[in-house]
Amino acid sequence: MIDSTAIIHPTAIIGSDVCLGAGVQVGAYSVLEGNVEIGDGTWIGSHVAIKGDTSIGQNNRIYQFASVGEDCQDLKYRGEQTSLVIGDDNSIREGVTIHRGTVQDKGVTRIGSHNLFMVNSHVAHDCVIGDYCIFANCATLAGHVTIGDYVIFGGLSAIHQFGKVGAHAFIGGCAALNKDVPPYVMAVGNYAHPVTINSEGLSRRGFSKEAIRALRQAYKILYRGNNTVEEAIEKMKALGEQFSEVQLFIDFLSEHGRGIIR
């Protein structure tokens, strides 16, 4: 179904299964095919390819030459029905590629809201991305990656498959992540190593001075106290009882992943 208020350029190709919400705009030579649903107010520029099963929320902006919802590059993929779900108010810039999931995982790639994907950034199959993240030019997420809210990836940075990055972390340009990055941590280098807490970003987002001070203390326990992860968790518990921000740090460390950067 195509809403009567949708504006479609005459050169665009819209498949019979595509649903366009109110006020959706589709630019010249764009191709939308398969089970694609586009929410109200979303703008799609020229020469964009969107393939289903893909659900895109409201008020997104998708720029030229982006490829959204294409088959993944996993060699095990054999054409199974998988999906891509994108939230609201995201900006997907030129040349961005976002792939659907695989049946080897949950079958879905999932992206939240208010994210910025800059030129040529890539989101592989089965990734889960939170809200308010920024991926600078050519940032690359391998398959099965999980990214928390308010994470920033610098240009040309990359993360290994099954990697995780906690909320409010900052990944420097050209960084290569082969292990997980805890929340709030700034990571740089190839392979990436921790530098400090992302205190400037936290301050801009309204974190109190007391909470930032507690997170710095938690960071020192983990990275400068000569503690194992298990020992660091025990020593952080008192801080976690006082500050929910530190508890998020503890919860991330308690999960089983690829191990954290050191």
Residue 191 CA to residue 121 CA, distance in Å, equals: 20
Q: Rounded mean pLDDT of the chain?
A: 97
Residue 10 pLDDT: 98
Residue 47 CA to residue 105 CA, distance in Å, equals: 31
Residue 222 pLDDT: 96
Distances (CA, A) of 56 to 21, 116, 195, 216: 10, 15, 36, 38
Residue 157 pLDDT: 98
Alpha helices in 23-88 (DSSP H): none
Residue 194 pLDDT: 98
Residue 135 and residue 155 in contact, taking contact as beta carbons nearer than 8 Å:
no
Residue 153 CA to residue 119 CA, distance in Å, equals: 13
* Residue range 202-254, CATH number: 1.20.1180.10
Burial 111-149 (b: 16+ CB within 10 A, else e): bbbbbbbbbbbbbbbbbbbbbbbbbbbbbbbbbbbbbbb
Q: Tell me if residue 126 is catalytic.
A: yes
Which of 53, 74, 126, 131 is labelled catalytic?
A: 126
Residue 256 pLDDT: 80
Which of 99, 122, 125, 168 is labelled catalytic?
A: 125
Which of 143, 148, 166, 172 is labelled catalytic?
A: 143
Q: Give this prediction's pTM.
A: 0.97
Specify whether the backbone of 114 is left (phi greater than 0), alpha (psi in -120 to 50) or beta: left
How does DSSP classify residue 63?
A: -
Residue 213 pLDDT: 98
Q: Provide the residue ranges of all domains of the chain, joining segments of one domain with +.
A: 7-144, 202-254
Helix (H, G, I), strand (E, B) or coil at 130: coil
Parts of the chain with a pLDDT under 50:
none
Sheet containing 13-14: give its strands across: 13-14, 31-33, 49-51, 67-70, 97-99, 122-123, 140-141, 158-159, 176-177
Q: Tell me if residue 125 is catalytic.
A: yes
Distances (CA, A) of 130 to 16, 127, 218: 31, 10, 23
Of the CATH numbers 3.40.605.10, 2.160.10.10, 2.30.30.40, 1.10.10.10, which one belongs to the domain with range 7-144? 2.160.10.10
Is 202-254 in the same CATH topology as 7-144?
no
Distances (CA, A) of 135 to 38, 90, 94: 22, 12, 13
